[in-house]
Structure 1
Amino acid sequence: MRVLENIISDRGSKYAVSGAPCTSDAEAKLFLKELQRRKKFAKATHNSWALLAADGPLKNDDGESGAGMVILRMLEREGLHDHLIIVTRWYGGKHLGGDRFRHVQDAVRIYLDALAVDRQG
């Protein structure tokens, strides 16, 4: 599992993005459990995720309403199947409004760019 920490910070909220090859809801939950073994991630406000699996699209907002769909749409646009992406947010005390969706998109883009570099090289 690749974990990119401290990638975005805005008004006290901090973001990380993680991901790994994954083929099912059960496997996604295992990856999430593994990530949350790290105390920092267990204490996160939200661990939103999405996956394009053979059974169909899977997502979980984890209380960050709409975040799973943002991740899912980006996976669909990339045509990236059987790969789980988790965007983690630690709430900083100030509401971000619509900016939170931009941050989720930016986090996924950072992950996808790192994945593309790995595949090239």
Structure 2
Amino acid sequence: MQIFDGIISDRGSKYAVSGGPCASPDEAKAFIKQLCRKKKFAKATHNTWAFMTPEGPIKNDDGETGAGMLMAQMLEREGLMYHIVVVTRWYGGKHLGGDRFRHVQDSVRYYLDHADLG
């Protein structure tokens, strides 16, 4: 599990991104469970995630409607299969509107640029 914390802060909301190998929905649930063993991540407002399989995307918006599909599309464009990416958001009290999608996209891009995907 690779975690990049504190990568974006906007109007009180804070973002982190994490990821690792994942081949099934059960593995995704186990990954999220392991991530949430860290108290900080368990208290997050959203842990949105996605990973790609040959059959298509597996995703969960966790309350950030549409964010899982955005993440899946980015992973598909990268050709990254069987690797979960989780964008975590701690809500800061002010609505971000469409900026939240930009932050999700920037978080996934950060992960793709900095994670060891080998």
TM-score (norm: length of structure 2) = 0.96
Distance 1:119 1:39 in 2: 26
Structure 2 unaligned spans of 5+: none
State the identity %.
69
| Alignment check: 8 A CA contact 1:17 1:88 kept | yes
Query: Are 2:109 and 1:74 equivalent residues in the alignment?
Result: no
Specify the SS of the correspondent of 2:74. helix
Q: Which residue of 1 aligns with 2:41?
A: 41
**In structure 2, do the counterparts of structure 1 residues 119 and 61 end up closer, same or farther at CA, with 3 Å as the change threshold?**
closer
Specify the SS of the correspondent of 1:47. strand
Q: Which residue of 2 aligns with 1:29?
A: 29
Distance 2:79 2:5 in 1: 25
TM-score (norm: length of structure 1) = 0.94
Shift of 1:119: 5.7
Structure 1 unaligned spans of 5+: none
Q: Which residue of 1 aligns with 2:86?
A: 86
Amino acid at match of 1:89: R
Distance 1:69 1:95 in 2: 21
Distance 1:69 1:63 in 2: 13
Query: Are 2:75 and 1:50 equivalent residues in the alignment?
Result: no
Shift of 1:3: 0.4
User: What RMSD in Å do the two structures reach over aligned CA positions?
Assistant: 1.2
Instruction: Count matched residues.
Output: 118
Runs of 4+ in 1 over 4 A off after TM superposition: none
Distance 1:7 1:57 in 2: 25
| Alignment check: 8 A CA contact 1:23 1:54 kept | no
Distance 2:107 2:39 in 1: 21
